[in-house]
Amino acid sequence: MKNNRTLAKRLTTQAMLVAAAVVLGGIERLIPPFFPAMPGVKIGLANLATLAALYWLGEIPAIAIAVARILLGTFLFASVSALPYALAGGVLAWAVMCVGRRVFGVPGVSLLGAVAHNLAQICVSVWLLDSTVLFMYIPFLTIIACATGFVLGFVMLNLDNHIRKTSLLTNI
């Protein structure tokens, strides 16, 4: 049953996830690159919001939150030229996670999202740069994404455990 109270709570939860994601993205920008020779290596903290939205609210709210946080984050912290990369990464990660969660658990889904995010960004850069050199980065980035994605999956499981002890997710 979706009464006004439920709708208001859902909307608030979505807004909170967008805000949390933008903050996580901002924090991540402060972390110096792990591999200076390999730009694009990052933890992907903001993907935690998409992941949480996917499990807590459903697939449509998840993509809405992903797109909202990408637009906000890009205009706040980055330049417009970074937008195609961020959008492609976010959308493909979401799509792959939607399919993946029918088969895998949270860490697996998170891993798939991270790998998909990288692949999409590489594909966009290959398209924009009109050169296939960047395909060379895929294997290395994928290995890193496996590690960060899997660990972030555990973070999500823990987060979920704690949030479910509160009333935040009841009746949504």
Partner 1 sequence: MSDAKYYPRWRRDVILLAAVVVLAAALQFSVFKAGTQASEAVVTAHGETVVRLALGTDTIYTYEFEEETNEIVVENGGVFIRRANCKGQDCVRQGRIDRAGQSIVCLPHKLIIELAMTDANEPEIDIIVR
Which residue ranges make up the site for partner 1 (CB under 8 A)?
33, 36-39, 55-56, 79, 81, 85, 101, 103-108, 111-112, 115, 125, 128-131, 133-134, 136, 138-140, 142-143, 146, 150, 153, 160
15 alpha carbon, distance to own chain's centre: 15
With both helix axes pointing from N to C terminus, report the angle between 47-56 and 83-100 in degrees, rounded to the nearest 10. Answer: 40
Cα dihedral value 40, 46, 47, 49, nearest 10: 180
- The number of C-alpha atoms within 13 Å of 3 and in the hemisphere containing its C-beta is 2
CB of 119 to partner 1, least distance (A): 11
Residue closer to partner 1, measured from CB, 11 or 105: 105
Q: What tokens does 148 get?
A: 């960060």
